[in-house]
A and B are shown apart, each in its own frame.
Chain A
């Protein structure tokens, strides 16, 4: 397993946990990326006050700007390295967008905060998207030779 990076992944996970804890302990909010970024696609007037949109914008901006910095320092950390057509990427992005809104969360909100709160609802969500993603990757690999 030459690609196995338990230490780096653990350190990365601790930082993700730190971010979630800051948002919870200081601001009282759950750190769910699909909920935060999805909130930005709501119409003006969907929120009762200005701050509801601004903090989501600030978090999402930090996430993107962090990526800008990381992309400059370590572009290799963003190597795509799987074979997917542009159409597949568009379909995949759309599915992730709709699915995370319909299911009220993703890997962060259900995965870390939800499981961390021992929420049965989040456990059901995590098991559903993990099993589906396992099956999807296996199917693409077996049926399409890993390229779609």
Chain B
């Protein structure tokens, strides 16, 4: 295992802080309430009225992210590292769509997407969400299964 390069400590501390802020944002925004997620996903309002609140979480996120991304594009490198690591894939293929379908099924069924699930797992350790304590290990098992499947195919994960 290679040694850490200079500056790694700062970047790791930033990642930790970003994780904490993300968790607080999800909690305040209502993303950790599966009933609210279902109330948002139930567009036709079969269980009472539609609750569009969670569109405001995505809207708030975009409101901050979009302008900063435009600024960032003009920079050669991030503040604490040598280069940006941005996604390069452009293709809209069967994997992307198939993955989206499976994720959508799981999100609608369980009421958790990955971020709120992990935050709720932490709350679950404090006794606030027993459901996330079931959901998250299954989610990690699904992720690990995908990685194992890719290795078995000899493909790059």
Contacts and interface: CB of A to CB of B under 8 A. Distances in A.
Contacts of A26: 11, 14, 78-81
Interface residues of B, number: 128
A3 B132 CA distance: 22
A9 B126 contact: no
A19 B17 CA distance: 8
A71 B125 contact: yes
* Chain A to chain B: the 9 pairs with minimum beta-carbon distance, closest first: A12-B29, A13-B60, A97-B142, A103-B99, A62-B19, A67-B122, A66-B23, A132-B104, A17-B64
Provide the main secondary structure of the chain B interface. Answer: helix
Provide the main secondary structure of the chain A interface. Answer: helix
B146 A101 contact: yes
Interface string A67-100: 1111110110111111010101111111111111
A108 B50 CA distance: 22
A69 B121 CA distance: 11
Contacts of B118: 33, 37, 60, 63-64, 67
Interface of A: 1, 3-6, 8-31, 33-34, 37-38, 40-43, 46, 48-51, 54-56, 58-72, 74-75, 77-82, 84, 86, 88-104, 106-108, 111-117, 119-121, 124-138, 140-142, 146, 148
B77 A28 contact: yes
Contacts of B111: 80, 82, 84, 92
